[in-house]
Structure 1
Amino acid sequence: MNLWYRIKDMLLDWHDRIMYRIAGDEEFELPVGKIVFIVVTAIILIGGGFFVVRKLFFSGGGDERQEQVAQVRVQRIKKENFTEKYAVMGTIRGTIENDMRFEIEGTLARYNFSEGARIGRGAIIASLDPKDSLSKASYAKSKYNSEKASYFSAAQRMKVYGELFKMKAISETKFEEAKYETDSAKERMEAALSELELAQSNLEKTNLFAPSGGVLAERLIQAGEFVTPHDVVAKFISGGEVNFEVDVPEKDVEKIKIGMKVKINCDAYQDKDFWGKVREIAPTVKEKTRTTIVKIEIPNDDGQLRSGMFARGDIFLMEMPDTITIPQDSLISLGNETRLVPIVKPDPSVPNRGMVELRSITSGQTVSKSVIVQDGLNENELVVVETQTQLSDGLPVQFTEVNPAGNETVR
């Protein structure tokens, strides 16, 4: 600034001298060297001032605008198999659990299978002591054979009497007596046959047969104890399938439909997945728990799943292959039908720089915190999932790509 004032004073001094000499008509010569020095100095000062002004008001403003570039986090769109699951937990139960009882009373002699054993249809699970039944069956058989012989003898005599009656060799009274004896013998024989069949049936009932193929779940009475037809001797699970029974809150029951696929895991087989389907939804709600029982049918041909096991499962409410989904927070709703999604178009010349485009899309169902996109987005485009700035069409941004878990993608 002092130099500037010195130049100013010098110029004024030369101005006064020139004016003085002109007024006095004096002849003078202007020093060329000083004039050049003054002009050059003035140019330098003017140029320097322009540079300072530009630096202060233009370069600084550019940095400020650079600092104002919006920072966003984006996620790359991928088509994936979309599934919606409903988590449940419950207990494994036999499809048909049978309370096995003997039809007659007696002393339990033995079990032929251990608990958990797989048993074929018609196999003998347990047996009573057959001594009394064998005695009754033997007596009934002997009595039947005796009555049978008496009947054949009476029938043979009846035949002879019939021939004699035709020849008028005997009276009608004798013939009727023979006929009566034959009918009586036949009735006694038939009664003895019924007793024999009952005795043989009771003998057969000393054995407890499996009603179908299945698993012996539990033995309840020890060998040597006396049992009656009212006593449950064992529990038997029929069939090669089991049920996974779960309690579902009443507010969620409407989500579940018959036939839905279910994946089940048990603590006993942590590395194995069992698959089943929803077989039955109870029509009632438990008053105390406000839940409904849902039964899931699981094939169990190898018998690994046992009644009473605890299990967890996922019911597949929805399955959609090759589906595009975006976070619900990325969707901008304008009215009832217009849906916009901010995507970033990368600038190929500047890494991690791009421009925002508000893309109109057709959205589908909202599941949890994800929205199914039916139309408007393409695979590998970048959708904004997080920003602290209000986005607009054409806004320049600096972006960081993250994966669906929210972690930064390393490239």
Structure 2
Amino acid sequence: MKVLLCPLNDPGYLYPALAVGAELRRRAHTVHVLAGPRAAPAATAAGLEAVAVVDTTALSVSHWTARGPEQYTEVARAVRRTRPDVLVTSVLCHGALVAAEAAGLPVVVLGLTAHLWPYRSGIGAADARDRTWRLTETLKHYGAVREAAGLAPRHDRFPDTPLLGTAFLLRGHPVLEPPGAELPPAVEHVGPCWWEPQPPAAEPLPDSKPLAYVHLGRTFGGASLWPRLNAAFTSGTHRAVVELGRSGDPEAAADADLIVGRRPWMGPLVDRADLVLTNATSAPVLAALLRGKPLLVAPNGSEQQVLAAGCLRAGVARGLPGPGASAADLRAAVEETARDPELRARAQEIAGLLADGKSETRAADAVESASH
């Protein structure tokens, strides 16, 4: 079987696809990865062959709403070159969905950790945070790509059908969904599909205080975490290692116990941390749960609200006090999250559930099934 991986090239989307690709390669399938210059070294490190992207913005999550037609062109070009039997792509990668349809190929979509669009069953409206709006907005951009590609209109029974592909694989666990939530038939929980490059050496860190790992997401017009980080980690019990991710320039106070940077991995640092503080995006949440670490969540927009709610409901997280909270309350939230035995026990329980799921195996099985 020939497989073309065409995920978004940002690490949070690229790395899970590489995990699945490496498992498919281990099964003796031919696997290519559509990759720009920044993503190609990771593909090589995973033992996979990269196919170069001409337009480097086409597979960037920062441009997912605007570069769909260019993404379609890139994927269609790679399909002609590699002649795959199946595509594997990311959520929000509409150009790949349309290219697969145009070529008559099955397509497997790697989703995020929790399901963002409406469930098929009616659950409490309190959990439905903008789910209908999210679906409507996503379909608008998807429809624009289809129109640009000249494909005939679709007539699906459910509006989310075209976004789910042949199979839609969530990288979390049912425990993170609301009780009674009924997912569409094409959607399956497979687990983290975890991969990241190995750091060249252990990072030297001061050992005078225990560590917290902090991963910043986009603010989406919400509150920046920096004022609260500065307060929580000044004269507190912990020092924080802060991953900037796709956030803006750092705003660390000179006297705050913060070590700030950008790294293409997080696992070794999470291993050394007592807790993970995050806006609640998939990668840091999964890194914490895989290692049985409790979470302190401060969501803004997009998936953050949905995933943070899932973590709180599952008993693996506390909420970080909001803007305007006192420094004492913020420091207490860090210390209490790190020391809470029930929170840690529940996180360790879910770590076991995720490990038992054998995510790369299940995902590779789904890709093989889709190609038949």
Q: Which structure is higher in helix share?
A: 2
Query: Radius of gyration: which is bigger?
Result: 1
Q: Which structure is higher in strand share?
A: 1
| Normalised-by-shorter TM-score class | under 0.3
Using the size of structure 1 for normalisation, the TM-score is 0.16
Using the size of structure 2 for normalisation, the TM-score is 0.17
